[in-house]
A and B are shown apart, each in its own frame.
Chain A
Amino acid sequence: GAGVSQSPSNKVTEKGKDVELRCDPISGHTALYWYRQSLGQGLEFLIYFQGNSAPDKSGLPSDRFSAERTGGSVSTLTIQRTQQEDSAVYLCASSLASGGFQETQYFGPGTRLLVL
């Protein structure tokens, strides 16, 4: 079956503009995660959804970052008034999460964001 998909693959924007990044999880996966990966670094947790709700928003770096998930499927990560330090690869993952944190997360290919 289809894996996690993300769009766009690459995004170049100017400082101060807003961007929206999209994640389409594996069908049937109720948990969805957003991560940020800066060049040469590991992954930084941003936010996690269980269904449409986000019980943990602690990882969002600032109030310029927001995320939503509708219909228990597609999620959008929005960055307002982008800054150069927002440049990174944004990865999305999904898991079955049948109540267990131990479910394996399956990753999308990521969106590479460059803020000029």
Chain B
Amino acid sequence: AQTVTQSQPEMSVQEAETVTLSCTYDTSESDYYLFWYKQPPSRQMILVIRQEAYKQQNATENRFSVNFQKAAKSFSLKISDSQLGDAAMYFCAYVDSNYQLIWGAGTKLIIKP
């Protein structure tokens, strides 16, 4: 069965600094997608970035980028120039042809002013 592991329950970073959130997954599938979602206190789950497994190039969205290592089954999220509004729970998720999103347990990101 597919699994997603986020080993950091909580991370903190100084405002304007860079932070990396870790995610590893396990699957025997070759075709899948990976996502990072952000959930602020408002509870609304918001897509941050997505990565297609067959693409070697790492996805980037403004200050957010991923380091996708397919062989190692690793999918970390780097947030550059951290802002107070980045404070939230961050969830790593995986989906394949079974249509189910498999979620990690989340990492709480704290931004220190």
Instruction: Give the B-binding residues of A (Cβ under 8 A).
Output: 31, 33, 35, 40-45, 48, 55-56, 59, 89, 91, 93, 101-102, 104-110, 112
Q: Tell which of B13-21, B70-78, B102-110 binds the partner.
A: B102-110
Residue in A35, A42, A59, A89 whose CB lies within 8 Å of B104: A42
- Beyond A42-B103, A59-B100, A104-B50: 20 further Cβ-contacts under 8 Å? A31-B99, A33-B101, A43-B91, A43-B101, A44-B103, A45-B100, A45-B101, A45-B102, A48-B100, A55-B99, A89-B43, A101-B97, A101-B99, A105-B47, A106-B47, A107-B44, A107-B45, A107-B46, A108-B44, A109-B42
Query: A42 touching B43 by the CB < 8 A rule?
Result: no
Query: A102 touching B47 by the CB < 8 A rule?
Result: no
SS class, residues of chain A in contact with chain B: strand
**B contact residues around A31 at 8 Å (CB):** 99
Query: B105 touching A41 by the CB < 8 A rule?
Result: yes
Tell whether B96 is near chain A: CB-to-CB under 8 Å. yes
The minimal Cβ–Cβ distance linking B83 to chain A, given in whole angstroms, is 22
The minimal Cβ–Cβ distance linking B75 to chain A, given in whole angstroms, is 15
Within 79-113 of B, Cβ neighbours of A (below 8 Å) are at 91, 93, 95-106
The minimal Cβ–Cβ distance linking A89 to chain B, given in whole angstroms, is 7
Q: Which residue in chain A gives the minimum CB-CB distance to B35?
A: A104
Q: Top 9 closest A-B pairs, CB basis?
A: A107-B45, A42-B103, A43-B103, A102-B33, A45-B100, A42-B105, A101-B99, A110-B43, A109-B44
